[in-house]
Amino acid sequence: MSDFNYWKPENLLDAVSLLANMEDQARPLAGGTDLLVKMKKGPINWKGIVNLKGLTELKGINYEGETITIGALTQISSLIENPLVSIHFPVLVDAARSLGTPQVRNLATIGGNLCNASPAADVALVLLMYEARLLIMGPSGSRKVPVQEFYVGPGQTVLQQGEILTTVEIDLPPLNSKGVFYKHGKRKSHEIALVNVAVLLTSQPETKQITRARIAVGSVASTQLRIKDAEDSLTDSLATLSAFEKAAKLAKEAVNPIDDVRSTASYRKQMVGILTRRALQEAWGGEL
Amino acid sequence: MKIPMSLQVNGEMYQVNVSIKKTLLDVLREDLALTGTKKGCDSGECGACTVLMDSKPVNSCLILAVDAVGKQISTIEGIGGIMELHPIQEALIAHGAIQCGYCTPGIVMTAKALLDSNPHPTETEVREGIAGNLCRCTGYVKVVEAIMDVSSR
C-alpha cells in the first residue's frame, strides 16, 4: 500500500472542510471494504484519507412519521437487524442480505454502497426503487438529491469536492404495496450481480387494478436505471400476464449492458426481461 | 507516518507504534505475534483473517489498525487453548472438518459469533453464516455438520 496522509475528524464540518481543502487529493473512508482493497491494489492517485468513522452522528436509523432516515455510516448488517426496516422496507433487507459476506456486511455502509456508484450495487438499487432522497453536506451548505439524480456514470456521482453524503431518507410506500428484489449471479452469496432487479407494485387487490409501479434495474447500463416507460405502462392497468410481459419487454429494450468478464451484453439484456416479468408476478402475488 | 495506539485484544491491552497504513491483520500478525489469524486473499474475499470486533465477525484485512482502537478484538488465540479446546474446535475435529487448516481459525471465529447470537441456527442459517469463509480444500459439509452439532449440545 502506498503512503498516505491521514485525518480522522471528530465532526462533520471538520470532515467537509478537510475534504474541500484537499482538492481531489483525499478520499473519504467509510466502511473501507472497497477503498482499502483499491489502495492495496494500487497505484492510487490520491494522497490522503479522511476517515469518517469518528462521525457517530452519521450512524443510526430513525423513524419519523412517514419517513425513515438512515445515517450514511450505518452498517449494512444494521439494516438487516433493524425491526422497523424489516417491517416497512423488507426489500431493502433482502438486498442487504445479498451484499458481500457477513464479515463485509459488518463493515460496509449504506453510504458507501451509494457513493461507490457501482452499477451492480444491491442496496443502492433498492433505494432507487424506493425513491430515496440523499442529504448531502458540503462547504456551501446542505442539499437534497433524489437517488435517481445522484449518479453520473460508473463510479461517478454528483458529489462535489468537499461534499459528504450524510443521510438517506425513505418515505413509506403507499398501502397495498409489495416489493421484490432479485439478484442474478453464479452463486447465492459473495457475488456481484450479473443483473439485479427491484420492483414495487401498489395495487387494489379487489379490482386487480395496479395504481403505481416502480422498476429499477442494475448491472445493465453505466448507471442503475429506473424504467419509467415500463412503470407508466403498468399504472392504472389491470394485473394481467400480458401487462407484466409488456412492462418486462419495455425494460429489456431500455437497458444497454456491456460484455465483460462476468457476463455478456445479450445474456444480461435477456435476463432483464425475464427477471422483470418474474419480479412483477411475484410482487403481484395473486392469480392472473 | 507511525502513530502510537492501544489495542484491546482477547481482553489484554497492547501498546504499539505502527504505520497508519497497517491493517489490523498485519498488526496482529507482525506486531503482536498473534499469527493464528491467517492472511489469505488480503482483500476481503476469503475470510481467513476473520476476527471479532465488539462480538461481530469482520475481515481484519479491511480494517486499518487505528480503527480498532477502543474496540474489543477477539482472535483465535482467545478461544480455548491446547489443553482445553472450545466446543467448536472439538466439534470440527470430531467431524473431520479440517483439511489443510488454513481457513479454520476464521471459521471458528465466524461460528462463534453465529452461535453466540443464535445458539440454535437452522442449517440454512449456518450455511449463510459461514458464506464468507472460503475453504479451498472444499469441505463445507463437515463444517456445517460440526457447527450444527455444537448448537444441539
Q: Do A4 and B23 touch (CB under 8 A)?
A: no
User: Residue ranges of chain B with pLDDT lower than 50?
Assistant: none
Asked whether residue B71 falls in the same domain as residue B94, the answer is no
CATH level 3 topology of A177-284: Enolase-like; domain 1 (3.30.390)
- Interface contact A190-B59, CB threshold 8 A: no
- CATH 3.30.465.10 in chain A, residue ranges: 1-42+62-172
Q: Which amino acid is at B120?
A: H
Per-residue cell: B31: 506486531
Is B68 found in the same domain as B127? no
In this predicted structure, what is the pLDDT of residue A217?
Answer: 98
User: Once rounded to an integer, what is the mean pLDDT over residues A215-222?
Assistant: 96
Residue at a domain's end among B78, B107, B135: B78
- For chain B, the three-class secondary structure string (H helix, E strand, C coil) is CEEEEEEEECCEEEEEEEECCCEHHHHHHHHCCCCCCCCCCCCCCCCCCEEEECCEEEEHHHCEHHHHCCCEEECHHHCCCCCCCCHHHHHHHHCCCCCCCCCHHHHHHHHHHHHHHCCCCCHHHHHHHCCCCCCCCCCHHHHHHHHHHHHHC
The CATH topology of domain A1-42+62-172 is: 3.30.465
Q: What is residue A205's predicted lDDT score, i.e. its pLDDT?
A: 77
For the segment B105-142, what is each residue's pLDDT rounded down to a tens digit? 999 999 999 999 999 999 999 999 999 999 999 789 99
Total of domains in chain B: 2
pLDDT of residue A209: 95
Band (pLDDT 50/70/90 cuts) for residue A263 is very high
In this structure, are B6 and B67 located in the same domain?
A: yes
pLDDT of residue B138: 77
Domain residues for the domain of B139 are: 87-152
ipTM associated with this complex: 0.97
Residue A121 C-alpha, separation from nearest chain B C-alpha, in angstroms: 17
CA distance A139 to chain B (A): 26
Residue % of chain A over a pLDDT of 70: 100
- Mean pLDDT (chain A) is 95
User: CATH number of the domain that B114 lies in?
Assistant: 1.10.150.120
Work out the pLDDT band at A42, boundaries 50, 70, 90: confident
What pLDDT is stored for residue B45 in this prediction? 96
For residue A262, what are the contacts with CB-CB under 8 A and spacing of at least 6? Answer: A192, A194
Residue numbers of B between 77 and 106 with CB closer than 8 Å to A: none
Domain boundary among B43, B78, B113: B78
- On the question of pLDDT at A23 being above 80, the answer is no
**CATH number where B63 lies:** 3.10.20.30
- Summarize pLDDT for A103-141 with one digit per residue, the tens: 999 999 999 999 999 999 999 999 999 999 999 999 999
Looking at the structure, do residues B74 and B103 belong to the same domain, yes or no? no
> Which tens digit of pLDDT belongs to each residue from A154-185?
999 999 999 999 999 999 999 999 999 999 99
Q: Are residues B117 and B68 in the same domain?
A: no
Which residue, B56, B78, B100, sits at the end of a domain? B78
Q: Are residues B74 and B104 in the same domain?
A: no
- Residue of chain A whose Cα is closest to the Cα of B70: A54
**pLDDT tops 90 at residue A1:** no
Taking CB atoms and an 8 Å limit, are B62 and A4 in contact across chains?
no
SS3 A212: strand
Q: What is the pLDDT of residue A44?
A: 83
What's the mean pLDDT in A83-108? Answer: 97
Residue A90's pLDDT is 97
| Residues of chain B with C-beta less than 8 angstroms from the C-beta of A189 | 128, 131-132
Q: What is the pTM of this model?
A: 0.96
For CATH 3.30.390.50, the residue range(s) in chain A are: 177-284
